[in-house]
Amino acid sequence: MLSALFLVAPLAFFPATFALPRSVALSPEEDVDVQRRGVTVTTVRSSTLADPRALPSSSRPGGVSANGITTSSNTTVESSFSGYRSALYFANWGIYGADYQPQQLPADKITHVLYAFADIAADGEVKSSDSYSDLEKHYPTDSWNDQGENAYGCVKQLYLLKKKHRQMKTLLSIGGWTYSPKFAPVAATEDGRQRFCNSSVTLMKDWGFDGLDLDWEYPSDASQAQDYVDLLRTCREALDAYAAQHAPGYRFLLTVAAPAGPQNYGTMDLAGMDAYLDSWHLMAYDYAGPWDATTGHQANLYPDPANPEATKFSTDRAVADYLARGVPASKLVLGLPLYGRIFASTTGLGQPYTGVGDQGSIEPGIWLYKDLPRPGAEERWDAAAGASYSFDPAASELVSYDTLASADAKTAYLVDRGLGGAVFWEASGDREGEGSLVGAVASAMGRLEEAENCLSYPTSRYENIRNGVPGE
């Protein structure tokens, strides 16, 4: 996960020995059920399926989209499939340099907003990292004459979006790269865990959110891995206790940002964590960057044996490892970057380079997706790696990033593997309209989750949230 400064640690290689079948084939003569995407897939008594583009989204096999992404033939999916997740990180610092405000979120195309990041005090209390952005900024429709204590800033704007788009849930994302060193000492004690989780739930209900998203990068050994499990268990208990008292029947969500580097997830107790989680947001990006000696793809699906220096890591290996260690496919949400990493003075993929140049959207070395490709650069598709990039021969500059082509390939991949959906880092990098990656993936997935968010927070400290922000 990138921080406000886009600072990321390099990943390390750890080979996987597990491969998954690309599909489940069923004979029309067989009368069997299989589990896929957490739903039942049954045989069809005919040799072919109808054209999925002619079916309503609720009838498309496996959530097949209107633009024709398919899964196995001869299958139908029963109505227990609740739809794909379309999750999007919103960074509270984005209101400044990127000038990206909550009202710009594509709320009709997303099911979850992950609001990044809350900070962690030394004693374990989870707190706002920027009170102005979170609670104080007045937008044009905000009054300066309200009575009582009220929430403004991004918190109020997100609540208003929830009222208009009932499928959109908001989660408080805690930690991230910058604050991650604060997790270990807090998670190591029962008092620290209780304070962390109780204060997290307090912020969640005060702000009118629907759950928590923990981003600890990363537990370093078996002891910290167990502490992470204990922290998740404590937070799950705190969420359930709050729901039982103030929102009976509603499930507040608990998710994590999950590493795609084997040396990181290899340390973690995935099965132990999964017992308390609703989904895993796989950070399937930053596979290559300025820490490397050669250029490379930063978010490729597959390794390329013909160019191993360009594909030191791969999403397919990470997905296989998570599934092999007991994480249900339907809980694993595939991450896509909305930014590109620059490699300067190079001749191409897997080749030496010199620095990242002195240009970027927000800082040198990083271009937001909406600012790509750069003038003079040509977008290219690497079919072997399942990745896109641009190259400018005159400037000798390569930029690794997702495009509509790679997003389409990744959507087909997640549907084929039965994954739970897609998650993007982060909102300010996307384009609006036709070129939007978030919109393209949402449309390609077809059916999105429709479960309603929570709007009732009777014990919020903020009067407007407590009263449902009346009149707006």
Q: In terms of DSSP bridges, do strands 421-425 and 397-400 run parallel, antiparallel, or are they unpaired?
A: unpaired
Specify which residues 84 forms β-bridges with. Answer: 448
CA dist list (Å): 131 to 6, 118, 203, 290: 21, 10, 12, 33
For tokens 């097949």, the residue is 64
- The answer to whether 269 touches 229, Cβ cutoff 8 Å, is yes
CA dist list (Å): 227 to 82, 143, 188, 283: 32, 44, 6, 21
Q: Could you confirm whether 217 is annotated as catalytic? A: yes
Distance, CA of 119 to CA of 272 (rounded, Å): 25
- The answer to whether 197 touches 124, Cβ cutoff 8 Å, is no
Distance, CA of 451 to CA of 45 (rounded, Å): 32
Helix (H) or strand (E) holding 440: helix 437-445
- The answer to whether 68 touches 33, Cβ cutoff 8 Å, is no
Q: Closest Cα to residue 173, out of 135, 126, 133, 139?
A: 126
Distance, CA of 250 to CA of 252 (rounded, Å): 6
Distance, CA of 234 to CA of 196 (rounded, Å): 9
* CA atoms within 13 A of residue 395's CA, in its CB half-sphere: 18
For tokens 């109780």, the residue is 198
149, 190, 217, 452: the active-site residue:
217
Q: Closest Cα to residue 332, out of 449, 423, 239, 408?
A: 423
- The answer to whether 134 touches 154, Cβ cutoff 8 Å, is yes
Q: Closest Cα to residue 449, out of 161, 158, 167?
A: 167
3-state secondary structure at position 97 = coil
For tokens 């407590």, the residue is 466
Give, as one character, the DSSP assignment of residue 9: P
Q: Give the helix, strand, coil percentages of the chain, each rounded to 5.
A: 30, 20, 50
Which amino acid does the sequence have at 252? F
Active site residues: 217
